[in-house]
Structure 1
Amino acid sequence: MNRFVAALAVIGLAVTAPAPAAAQAQGKSKAAAVYKAPRGPDGKHPDLNGVWQAMNSAGWDIEPHAARAALQLRPGPVVPVPAKAVLALGAVGAVPGGLGIVEGGEIPYTPEAKKQRDANRADYLNLDPEVKCYLPGVPRANYMHLPFQVFQSEKSMLIAYEYAGAVRNILFTDPGPAPVDSWMGQSVAKWDGDTLVVTVTGMNDRTWFDRAGNFHSDQMQVVERWTPTGPGLMRYEATITDPATFTRPWKMSFNLYKRQGEDARLNQFKCVEFVEELMYGDLRKEPLK
């Protein structure tokens, strides 16, 4: 019996404790699984060139949310609009549900900022800068329903967005603080291995994160991380710091997908002409019926 128990103990050790050679092989397998992206024009860093697009519903709401009526005023196909009219939206105006892109699920607003977010959400059709075709800002431009294109050369990088013709010049030499605040801010980049790290500052306080009223102040700083994780796949992460609006820094993350073939191009979405009546229609001598 003693010899039988001893034999079982030896077998147990053999099963639970892998041999050094097996452990080394497992480590090499994990290392080999790390994606090595094709090199870019400089031959050193990943090639990020191409047309990219997020495939999520964060443009409507970056926090987890169920499908809902667009205005959240009452359910059903007919909803009242703050501009003293009634608009029949039906399913066209519905907000699709989504898992959200905020890590932890909830944005850590200060109590006063959360009240402002709720007020924004209740009247977003009048207040959301996207409705009025203003530039989307960062990070919102990266997860809207329209694609964007990265132009990467040996020494420079530019990101062009289909929405409103927005652009970002990615600087690899820090020029110091931005001279003025702007809609898209100032982007200063560096490489951390195969990850492009971009620090965005100098943004005004007029952009939102989504159509759900989530907002920030002009003190916001965004640190982006762009990491290729597979053929045609890139992981995007952004850490948001804004002590005037949030109780602590928080992070969002999601995947970007590279368009292929005839889809690998940007169309035009010059939305100014779509909002002229909305913004300036009251100035007509004879308003449209």
Structure 2
Amino acid sequence: MQMRLTFITLVLTYGLALSVEAQSLDYRPPRGPDGNPDLNGIWQALNTAHWDVEPHGAAPSVSRELGALSAVPGGLGVVDRGAIPYSSEALARRNENRADRLALDPAVKCYLPGVPRGMYMPFPFQIVQSQEHIMILHEFAGAVRTVYMADQMPAPADSWMGWSNGSWEGDTLVIDTTGFNGMTWLDQSGNFHSEALHVVERITRRSPETLWYEVTLEDPNVYTEPWTMSMPLYRRVEPNAQLLEFRCVEFVEDLIYGHLRKQPQ
């Protein structure tokens, strides 16, 4: 009886997965004035990539005082082939980053999250779409990206969020980003890149409430070959959904500058 129930459960689960996939393939997204899919809205990832983009088990917190509240949840990972193809030297640096991540992770100090990390942090982001530009507004640190759909040009200077040019391939928004300063990480586990990073994101609306996000990273200074991550992004559907202020600079002033404070005489 137990084996029969297990078999029935597997069949139903597989059938449901096929049904969801079929609905995604048949979905016709609403269109903007230019005829392209409407991606406007507030979206958020629901996975563990923020902690580690690779497959990982649950792990204790780096802060003993916070105990289980800041422990790392296990995750299946979002890297398509499981592991990031680091060079041997880069892998050693990643391991050093991981060992001292509380001190070295730029996001701990409220620096801008970079690309693609900002897309899967546990904070919402908003897409505001027009024919000439697409804005991606992040709640974390108030980070902002402008995707230039017209008047495209190479990155004029290196920056935390890079320089993004966009185009449409059918119903998929393709964002090509370069011009990074090499100072951001990909997650809390020390996965990183250099200033040579080249990111290509592909965003496709698969249902009224989901986007499919695929991002390919190429960095000859760090990786032996290009590699890809993919994940769903979910619409925030609360009636009053909005981005709220998260001015984290004031939360870390003492962490960064506390050693400069004058001691009382």
Question: How many pairs were matched up?
Answer: 243
- 1:153 CA displacement: 2.2
Cα offset for 1:268? Answer: 0.8
Q: Which runs of 5+ in 1 are unaligned?
A: 1-29, 72-78, 80-86
Q: Per-residue deviation at 1:224?
A: 0.2
8 A Cα contact 1:50 1:264, kept in partner? no
Q: Which residue of 2 aligns with 1:7?
A: none
Alignment partners' CA distance in 1, 2:23 and 2:209 = 20
1:35 aligns with 2:27: yes
Q: Identity rate of aligned residues, in percent?
A: 55
Q: CA deviation at 1:49?
A: 0.3
TM-score (norm 2): 0.88
Deviation by residue 1:143-199 (Cα, 9 ceiling, x = unmatched): 000000001124321110000000001101354321110000000000000000000
In the alignment, the residues of structure 2 paired with residue 201 and residue 212 of structure 1 have an alpha-carbon distance, to the nearest angstrom, of: 23
CA distance in 2, matches of 1:194, 1:125: 40
Give 1:76's aligned residue: none
Pair 1:133–1:33, CA change in 2 (3 A): closer
Instruction: Give the Å deviation of 1:264.
Output: 2.0
| Shift in alpha-carbon separation, 1:195–1:170, aligned structure 2, 3 A | same
CA distance in 2, matches of 1:282, 1:205: 26
Q: How far is 1:48 from its partner?
A: 0.3
Q: What code does the residue aligned with 1:275 have?
A: V
TM-score under structure 1 length normalisation: 0.81
**Aligned match of 1:99:** 76
Q: SS of the residue aligned with 2:239?
A: helix
RMSD: 1.6
Q: Does 1:161 align with 2:138?
A: yes
Instruction: Identify if the C-alpha distance between structure 1 residues 286 and 32 changes in structure 2 by more than 3 Å, giving closer, same or farther.
Output: closer
| 1:241 corresponds to 2:218 | yes
1:148 to 116, 119, 125: 125
Please tell me the residue identity of whatever aligns with 1:207. T
Deviations 1:4-54 (A, max 9, x none): xxxxxxxxxxxxxxxxxxxxxxxxxx7995211000232x10000000000
Q: Secondary structure at the match of 1:99?
A: coil
1:115 corresponds, among 89, 92, 101, to: 92
Match of 1:221 in 2: 198
**Match for 2:58 among 64, 67, 71?**
67
1:168 & 1:49 partners in 2: Cα distance?
A: 14
Matched, 1:181 2:173: no
CA distance in 2, matches of 1:155, 1:175: 10
- Which whole-Å CA distance do the structure 2 matches of 1:104 and 1:191 have between them? 26
- Where does structure 2 lack aligned partners over 5 or more consecutive residues? 1-21
The answer to whether the 8 A contact 1:135-1:164 is kept is yes
Query: 4+ runs of 1 displaced by more than 3 Å?
Result: 30-33
Q: Note if contact 1:41-1:152 (Cα within 8 Å) is conserved in structure 2.
A: no
Partner of 1:278, secondary structure, is helix
Mapped to 2, the partners of 1:213 and 1:204 lie a distance apart of: 16
